[in-house]
């Protein structure tokens, strides 16, 4: 098993003794600021459930393309369903992975003229009839990762000198909770090695469960470093909402996935803890010692960050899925990039 320079945090300490809690918070403050990527253990998510989610996902990916395309995302104005390899883009370059995107299972909203465009994001998921077990296992996984990610966000709030509930009003209720079950084909099956190109994630925090193959990398001052698989753990990284809320005290990490070696493929489950699309990201007042270390929000003309959560979500969804953008959001070309 390869070892990693990245720290391992035990999230169960959040519910432990005051000393455990204090130790966890100190650790989060340090690692979030210095590397921003870490592993989480002690989360209580069953290994049997993880194995079931990977197994049923694999059964889906093994289906013929015509069967998978029955739930193709291009059919969904809500960005739900299956994306074939090469159809998702990062910074204009195709990602060589296939995936199903799942959000909260809700009916579409009744839309009125003049409603903000992000109201189109709410709606049902698409589930494959050929693998009926996938719906139940993925919705169970979704509940579990929401629980762990919410705990982590509380720990982040404490580490930022805030009450642990400081973000609750903007993530509770109907939030943009995105789950992806992903398969990366090996290099013998694709034209280059971009499994997923370099990017920041849009939510508060991301939890990734990876299989044993590896390929996830994070950008640091010292260059790209590997995030090798650590069995039973989640990989955590910081998203744009925490960068905005802390005026860059925390930075959303740039990361990527390089395609697996020839003859292999990789599976992962990525979960992005989001916020309500109608929310505006608050600017936290940090304690003076932390405020003195803020770096400002990174200004990247190629990736503007919006404080309006709904616009921030739409920006990244439209850019990643140009087929959905063209078909369902033709009125928003300025955001397509």
Nearer to ligand AKG, 202 or 310 (CB): 202
Nearer to Fe ion, 120 or 266 (CB): 266
Q: Contact with ligand AKG (CB under 6 A): which of 45, 208, 241, 314? A: 208
What's the rounded Cα separation, in Å, for the pair 248 and 42?
28
Residue 216's binding partner out of ligand AKG, Fe ion, none, with CB under 5 to 8 Å set by partner kind: ligand AKG
Nearer to Fe ion, 201 or 243 (CB): 201
According to DSSP, the β-strands at 8-10 and 37-41 are parallel
Output the smallest distance, CB 295 to ligand AKG, in A: 23
Encoding tokens for residue 47?
């290994």
Nearer to ligand AKG, 166 or 211 (CB): 211
Is 49 within 8 Å of 144 (Cβ atoms)? Answer: yes
Residue 252's binding partner out of Fe ion, ligand AKG, none, with CB under 5 to 8 Å set by partner kind: none
226 backbone φψ class: left, alpha, beta (φ>0; ψ -120 to 50): beta
Q: 176, 228, 238: which is closest to 207 by C-alpha?
A: 238
- What is the DSSP secondary structure assignment for residue 101, as one 8-state letter? E
| Footprint on residues 238-257 left by ligand AKG (CB under 6 A) | 255, 257
Rounded to the nearest 10°, the torsion over CA 167, 316, 85, 132 is: 40
The interface region with ligand AKG, picked from 122-130, 208-216, 242-250, 328-336 by CB under 6 A, is 208-216
What's the rounded Cα separation, in Å, for the pair 333 and 113?
18
H/E segment holding residue 29:
helix 18-34
Q: Is 182 in the site for ligand AKG (CB under 6 A)?
A: yes
Is 79 within 8 Å of 321 (Cβ atoms)? Answer: yes
Nearer to ligand AKG, 155 or 218 (CB): 218
Please, what is the Cα angle at 67 between 66 and 70, to 5 degrees? Answer: 90
Residue nearest to ligand AKG (CB): 268
Beta strand residue intervals within 142-294, DSSP E? 178-184, 194-199, 205-210, 216-220, 223-226, 234-238, 255-258, 266-273
| Footprint on residues 257-316 left by ligand AKG (CB under 6 A) | 257, 268, 270
Q: Which residue ranges make up the site for Fe ion (CB under 5 A)?
A: 201
Q: Contact with ligand AKG (CB under 6 A): which of 6, 74, 152, 196? A: 196
Residue 268's binding partner out of ligand AKG, Fe ion, none, with CB under 5 to 8 Å set by partner kind: ligand AKG
Q: Is 201 in the site for ligand AKG (CB under 6 A)?
A: yes
Contacts of 296 (CB under 8 A, 6+ apart): 247, 248
Q: Is 230 in the site for ligand AKG (CB under 6 A)?
A: no
Rg (CA), the chain: 19
Nearer to ligand AKG, 182 or 325 (CB): 182
Residue 182's binding partner out of Fe ion, ligand AKG, none, with CB under 5 to 8 Å set by partner kind: ligand AKG
Nearer to Fe ion, 273 or 286 (CB): 273
Output the smallest distance, CB 97 to ligand AKG, in A: 7
Residue that the structure tokens 């280059």 belong to: 192
Q: Is 149 in the site for ligand AKG (CB under 6 A)?
A: no
Q: Is 145 in the site for ligand AKG (CB under 6 A)?
A: no
Residue that the structure tokens 């098993």 belong to: 1
Binding site residues, ligand AKG, CB under 6 A: 180, 182, 196, 201, 208, 210, 216, 255, 257, 268, 270
């Amino acid at each position: 098993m390869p070892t990693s320079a990245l720290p391992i945090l035990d999230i169960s300490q959040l519910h432990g003794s005051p000393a455990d809690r204090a130790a966890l918070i100190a650790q989060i403050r340090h690692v979030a600021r210095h590397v921003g990527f870490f592993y989480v253990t002690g989360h209580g998510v069953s290994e049997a459930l993880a194995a079931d989610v990977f197994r049923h996902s694999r059964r889906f990916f093994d289906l013929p393309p015509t069967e998978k395309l029955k739930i193709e995302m291009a059919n969904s104005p809500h960005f739900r369903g299956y994306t074939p390899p090469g159809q998702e883009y990062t910074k204009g370059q195709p990602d060589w992975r296939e995936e199903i995107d799942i959000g909260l299972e809700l009916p579409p909203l009744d839309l009125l003229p003049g409603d903000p465009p992000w109201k189109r994001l709410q709606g049902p998921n698409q589930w494959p009839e050929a693998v009926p077990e996938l719906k139940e296992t993925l919705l169970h996984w979704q509940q579990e990762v929401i629980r762990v990610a919410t705990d982590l966000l509380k720990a982040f709030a404490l580490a930022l000198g805030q009450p642990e509930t400081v973000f609750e009003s903007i993530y509770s209720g109907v939030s943009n909770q995105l789950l992806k079950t992903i398969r990366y084909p090996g290099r013998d099956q694709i034209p280059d090695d971009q499994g997923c190109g370099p990017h920041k994630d849009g939510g508060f925090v991301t939890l990734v469960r990876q299989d044993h193959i590896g390929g996830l990398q994070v950008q640091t001052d010292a260059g790209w470093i590997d995030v090798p698989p650590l069995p039973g753990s989640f990989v955590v990284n910081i998203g744009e909402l925490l960068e905005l809320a802390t005026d860059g005290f925390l930075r959303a990490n740039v990361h990527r996935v390089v395609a697996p070696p020839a003859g292999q493929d990789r599976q992962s489950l990525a979960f992005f803890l989001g916020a309500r699309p109608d929310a505006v990201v608050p600017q936290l007042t940090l304690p003076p010692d932390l405020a003195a270390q803020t770096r400002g929000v990174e200004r990247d003309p190629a990736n503007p960050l919006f404080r309006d959560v709904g616009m921030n979500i739409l920006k990244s969804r439209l850019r990643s899925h140009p087929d959905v953008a063209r078909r369902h959001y033709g009125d928003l070309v300025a955001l397509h990039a």
